Amino acid sequence: MKPQPNILIRRFKREDFEAILGMTESCWRGASFNQRIEELFGLRGKPWWELKRDSIKGFLERHPDWVFVAEVDGKVVGYATYSLDRTQRVGHVLNNAVHPDWRRKGIGRALHRRVLEELKREGMEVALLVTAVHNVPARRIYESHGFEVVWEALYYAKRLRPSPNSSSR
């Protein structure tokens, strides 16, 4: 699906900071490993979405040049982050997030395409990314852009102490 004509994919600007952080919970709900662990084990401390928001915030502060933003009519509706390993010439696609109200309009695909263009422009020879098996929409985008599964992993968890709020696992 091609992006709508009014969708602009551009570089991150400092004034995008709050919009990106504000949409983080809704973008990652159902696609967060930390959310799953929190649901299963009721962990204490910050909720999963605050951890994700803090991670994105730190990335924006440290690497603002490695972020693209999707904008519709002046409103930030998605973002993508990446990193560059210039020694190995490997680009890492890190986050590709679209606000739920704007999904299925080609925005995630357009963000991903723009990141791949940038990785090529920067001289990267390989692009890597990780996604969950159940994240079918993301997998469709990546596979349509020529990505192949090269490794599968399982994440295991075990409760070590009883919790008053949940049963032992």
Q: Please write the tens of the pLDDT for every residue from 29-52.
A: 766 677 777 777 787 778 777 888
pLDDT the model gives residue 31: 67
Distance between CA 34 and CA 40 in Å, rounded? Answer: 10
Q: Is there a domain that residue 92 lies in?
A: yes
Distance between CA 27 and CA 95 in Å, rounded? Answer: 10
Q: Is there a domain that residue 168 lies in?
A: no
pLDDT the model gives residue 159: 84
Percent of the chain with pLDDT over 90: 57
If pLDDT is split at 50, 70 and 90, which confidence band does 169 have? very low
pLDDT tens per residue, range 79-116:
999 999 999 999 999 999 999 999 899 999 999 999 99
Q: Is there a domain that residue 133 lies in?
A: yes
**What is the domain-level CATH number for residue 96?**
3.40.630.30
Predicted structure pTM score = 0.84
pLDDT the model gives residue 164: 60
Q: Is there a domain that residue 38 lies in?
A: yes
Q: Is there a domain that residue 101 lies in?
A: yes
Domain that holds residue 110: 7-144
Q: Is there a domain that residue 163 lies in?
A: no
Q: Is there a domain that residue 106 lies in?
A: yes
> What are the residue ranges of helices labelled H in the chain?
17-28, 33-41, 48-62, 107-121, 136-144
Q: What total of structural domains would you count in the chain?
A: 1
Q: Is there a domain that residue 129 lies in?
A: yes
Residue 5 has pLDDT above 90, yes or no: no
pLDDT the model gives residue 165: 60
